[in-house]
Structure 1
Amino acid sequence: ISNNEKTEWLPLYYASFAYIMISFQEPENAKKDTYLDQAQKYLDQATVIEPNESELYLLQGFLYPSRMNINPMNRGIVYIGKMTASLDKALELNPDNPRIYYLRATMTFHTPEAYGGGAAKALPLYQMADEKFRIFKPKTELSPNWGKEINEAELKKLQEAQKQ
């Protein structure tokens, strides 16, 4: 579809999103990088078409930690700042996008407490994402609308862990 719809960013967005998701299922790091390279290619093309679309910066902020997770010790320093900058840009363009808060919560949860992360710091971000998801309405029926279920699951786990 993205080859036929040269002026539409959504097919490229979904192609990129699909390659990112495939990379999570791939056990071999070299293949993960290949999938993420393809995801980046589609994302770059989409950003040329729609340079002020928050969803594209959000997706970039999702792609960077996917690369980082391949080799956190070596890649963390490279990608954490890029992820933060991408999410900052997405937030600037659309502060009502709940996926921004979900990704920030996830990043915070997986950051060691010694570096300002951890479950206690992530919980209010998951709660904020939950509030945003409750009122979020996609622009169109084809617009990105993922993340609510995983955010709810993560929020529930953290809330249950707090009770113990």
Structure 2
Amino acid sequence: MKNVIVIATLMVSLNSVAQDQYTKGMQRAFQLWGEQKTMEASNMFERIASVEMDNWLPHYYAAQVNTVAAFGEKDKEKVGQLLGKAQEYIDMAKVISPDNPEILVQQAMVHTAWIAFDGATYGMTLSGKVAALYEKALQLAPKNPRVVFSKAEWDMGSAKYFGQDITPYCADVKRSLELFANFKPESEFHPSWGEDRAKTVLENCGK
């Protein structure tokens, strides 16, 4: 009986140490990202993901940090490297957490980054996929503010491209802000981004 108690205590201690290392690692990765040290942040998320094989979050952020870096990049080789790595980690995240609306939004962002880089080449092949991803995410999580806002921003961009009225999508952005106001992430590391961007988009709606 004493041995069982010792083993149980040891297991609890090991789990606590592992959790503490995970927390410190994630905090450090976000710190690096905030300091614009994209490569270092990506490497940190990747190292955490290699250990946290059943946790989709470090995979998600490894994808996100590379996706964000790809927007605005003009060098095709660099864009390919960044978005190739992003896709690799999105694919792993999907295996861990299938039909996850946050991951679907991130996948849509990867495709959008390709379209932003070269719309003539990638617009025709990827635009439909982006729209489908947002539709699926909305069906899965109609009250997720990132889903509502990201879909609205995509729809707004599409409407502008085709010379259509964006007013209906301004209303969707406003609704996303109402959802952001009441949104509580499951943990300190679950996605919580988007509110500031949504406020900026709404301020410029119709201008």
TM-score, reference length from structure 1:
0.89
SS at match of 2:184: coil
Structure 2 residue runs of 5 or longer lacking an equivalent are 1-47
Aligned residue type for 2:136? K
Structure 1 residue runs of 5 or longer lacking an equivalent are none
Task: Identify which of 49, 52, 64 aligns with 1:17.
Answer: 64
Residue 39 of structure 1 is matched in structure 2 by 86
The answer on whether the counterparts of 2:148 and 2:172 sit within 8 Å (CA) in structure 1 is yes
Larger RCO (CA under 8 A, 6+ residues apart): 1
CA displacement 1:105-153 (0-9 Å, x = unmatched) = 2212222457474532331121121111111111111100000001001
Q: Moved runs in structure 1, 4+ residues, more than 3 A? A: 112-119
CA–CA separation in structure 1 for the residues paired with 2:108 and 2:149: 11
Q: 1:155 to 1:114 in 2, by over 3 A?
A: closer
Tell me the number of residue pairs that the alignment of Structure 1 and Structure 2 aligns: 160
Q: How does 1:118-157 map to 2 (within 5 A)?
A: 118-157=165-204
CA–CA separation in structure 2 for the residues paired with 1:33 and 1:117: 32
Q: How does 1:72-83 map to 2 (within 5 A)?
A: 72-83=119-130
The answer on whether the counterparts of 1:5 and 1:11 sit within 8 Å (CA) in structure 2 is yes
CA–CA separation in structure 1 for the residues paired with 2:164 and 2:57: 33
CA–CA separation in structure 1 for the residues paired with 2:157 and 2:76: 20
CA–CA separation in structure 1 for the residues paired with 2:96 and 2:80: 24
SS at match of 1:2: helix
CA–CA separation in structure 2 for the residues paired with 1:117 and 1:144: 31
The answer on whether the counterparts of 1:110 and 1:118 sit within 8 Å (CA) in structure 2 is no
Aligned residue type for 1:135? N
Task: Identify which of 137, 147, 153 aligns with 1:100.
Answer: 147
User: Which structure is larger by alpha-carbon Rg, 1 or 2?
Assistant: 2
> How big is the alpha-carbon RMSD for the aligned residues of Structure 1 and Structure 2?
1.8
The answer on whether the counterparts of 2:101 and 2:140 sit within 8 Å (CA) in structure 1 is yes
CA–CA separation in structure 1 for the residues paired with 2:77 and 2:102: 27
